[in-house]
Amino acid sequence: MTTETPEAVSTPTPEHLAEEFESLFGYRPIGSFRAPGRVNFIGEHTDYNAGFVLPIAIDRAVYVAIGRRPDNGAAGQGGDVPGLRGEDAGNTGTVQPPRRGESIRIVSDHRDDTGQRMFGQFAAAELVPGSLPGWLSHPAGVVDEIAKTTGTVVGGVDLYIESTVPVGAGLSSSHALEVAVLIALDEVYGLGLDDREKVLLTQRAENDFVGAPTGIVDQAASIMTEAGHALFLDCRDLSARQIPFDLDAEGLRLLVIDSKVSHSHSESGYGARRRTCEESAAIFGVDSLRELADDVDLSDLTEEQRKRVRHVIAENARVRATVELLEDNERSTGDDHDARISAIGDLLVASHESLQHDYEVSCVELDVAVAAAMGAGALGARMIGGGFGGSAIALIHADQVVQVGDAVTAAFAEHGYGEPDIFAVSAGRGAARFD
């Protein structure tokens, strides 16, 4: 097993993206944009309960190069196209020609089963939920929501996509794709969207077009987080605060452990827990579990309801405690500094235990991953995401990447599980133009 470090990941350059774009479409792009994946450091299943979360943007991202064709068919968008030389006008590149002037063509560097780059095209006027399969539904959802929200009909554009965010590892590669496409279109079309509008637009694209009932954590982390910080996000009103958390400066890494397991009841289990939380809030006569005091009397609830509510209340408290430790950590030194980092690790473990026993969304593979990481010297570890499979994270010193990774791999082999994918990430900056 090879555990990847952040330094081992090959990041595309703007010139590389421009060259690839030109070879595919036959003209130079207007520019390139990037949107990072995310790790939710702590605060699980609190977002749809209007609670607190603390994600970081990671140093792996989706990259989009974008251009507008001279045959642009979008209403009101004709005229000269920045980045397009006159001699390029007759060159259609190597990809399939646009079916019509307003068509949007997208090429991904990901390969299909035959080894070919993934490709698709569509027109904004054709879009209805469910009309496009798989990965194309995410950029299409953004285009559709831009039309509904701003009245701008996107058309006559080409996009080339590369990504260093692993697909299926719980790092929000699909949300990063949506955000990268949105910030590219926002600049090219002069939409003038602020960060809050971008977060909500991509959430609607995911909910209404893609059909995934997700919250706003992933988009907010990708759009709003500053480099060297975690995002303390209040999911009730989208208010946010940047919390200093410079993993590189601290000599720390987050090790992502992708179990490569997805149990069949993951979607139904998520929905059931969300309904239980809503029913419990109704019993107390509040809009969400966020409104409940930490010491609320839960005796009138069923055992299942008590467990779910107990997790949400305690997890919100753990997020607040982590934020306090990180803010105080900036002013601490020596043993006090180390003690605060250790306390943060303890909160991660407590979060996992709560997800395992009260929210009951962990699985044996994730429990083994957390136990093995802690046994190998991790400062803290927990499962991340919706549960029933997926990934765990471990907070480690930078020189422990191989040590902890090897221990987890050995533990999986000992239990007869498939080999996990393990890689280290650090905190990155939020979505932006990539020059």
Catalytic residues, by residue number, are 218
Residue from 113, 14, 112 nearest 66 by CA: 14
Pair 191, 160: CB distance under 8 Å:
no
CA distance 310 to 321: 16
CA distance 161 to 148: 24
Specify the amino acid at residue 279: E
CA distance 373 to 266: 24
Specify the amino acid at residue 304: E
CA distance 422 to 267: 24
| 3-state SS assignment for residue 91 | coil
Q: Which residues pair with 4 in a beta bridge?
A: 423
Specify the amino acid at residue 406: D
CA distance 320 to 336: 19
CA distance 336 to 386: 34
288-297: long-range contacts (C-beta < 8 A, 24 or more apart)? 288/49, 288/50, 288/51, 288/236, 289/49, 289/50, 289/51, 289/313, 290/46, 290/49, 290/50, 290/51, 290/235, 290/236, 290/316, 291/50
